[in-house]
Amino acid sequence: MTITDLASQFPGVAWQRLITGIFNHVGMTIDANEPVIAMAPPFLVKFGSMLSRYTAETLANYVVWQRVVSNTEFLPKKFKEIRLKYSKVIYGTASVPARWQTCAKIVTNAMPEVVGRLFVETAFKEDAKRDVLDLVDKLREAFKEMIDHLDWMSYTTKQIAKEKANYIDPRIGYQDLVYKNNDLNNLYKNVTVDENDPLKTLVSIREASVIRTLLLLRKDYDKSEWHMSPATVNAYYAPNINSITFPAAILQPPFYSKDQPAYLNYGGIGYVIGHEITHGFDDQGRMYDKEGNLKSWWTADDGTKFVERAQCIIDQYNGFVVPGTGNMTIMVSTPLAKI
């Protein structure tokens, strides 16, 4: 859809003025025919009417408050204590993290590539990359055997599914960028560092990041880009490029060690690898082909059978209701991958 379509289908927000104002910061012209993607239509339907129920003053206070809450690390102790009371109720947080933990988290989030470089140099060995790639290949083959044994999927869909599994691109440890000094320096060349004001420096880093993101609009998509720091203990599947990524930080005990028995590695990082591979075939990942294109490759009958079988997961999770939220239908991607 275009911005004109967006304004027509989701009124209550001056979309053209909002989007144009954002891109004016980087000197880019956005007209009403600019294509956009509405990521959450049900939310956007209600968003405009929700805004109309509150005064401009209330909305401004909310925006300012969100900025304050997200930066309590830089405020005096009494503000941290107020935030802790809130966190205890919502998240069960027992205490304020140690100062070094807070600082490490802030810097990792603000400068993921730089911290990733330091982590890789300190705690990651290249032979781990080769070993984990071997694990991926073995689990990929096991996954394809599971596809062969499905009694409800047609031969045609099975063959395409196995081909997609073969095309999954494993990314292990770190992206090439972390060892390219010039590229790293360019990321932060417009950042103003104030040694006496860490918040001001952080704001400058965030501004530079937003500007880099906005400037991507007229450029080809960089498939080599990572969306997670090598220093992050996590992993992810990217459907639009059919890749699975395992940062260096998750390739550590207890998930993985080249020195521990193979069964521990299979039970640790092996489980994570299988989980991420499965995301390529869950309710969202299955919508993308082997090249990462949003394109159906299932027969109509197999697609119907998948939806029917996924319903049991929805029914199971709908049996658990968080007080105060009502009975909501969940996204089934993560439960499916866990199974």
- Predicted TM-score (pTM) of this structure: 0.86
When computed from its CA atoms, the radius of gyration of the chain, rounded to whole angstroms, is 23
Q: Which two tokens stand for residue 178?
A: 């972390």
Pick the more confident residue, 331 or 130.
130
pLDDT digits (tens, 9 = 90+) for 98-144: 889 989 999 999 999 999 999 999 999 999 999 999 999 999 999 99
One-letter amino acid at 34 equals E
Average pLDDT, integer, range 1-7: 95
Integer Cα distance of 2 and 9 in angstroms: 11
Asked if residues 108 and 115 have their Cβ atoms less than 8 Å apart, the reply is yes
Find the helix or strand (DSSP H, E) in which 97 lies: none
Helix axes 126-148, 269-279, angle to 10 degrees: 50
The model's pLDDT over 44-87, given as tens digits with 9 standing for 90+, comes to: 999 988 999 999 999 999 999 999 888 888 888 888 888 888 88
CB 313 within 8 A of CB 336: yes
Distance CA(128)–CA(170), nearest Å, equals: 13
Burial class (CB in 10 A: 0-12, 13-18, 19+), 158: middle
The domains found in the chain, sorted by start residue, are 125-175+227-339 (3.40.390.10)
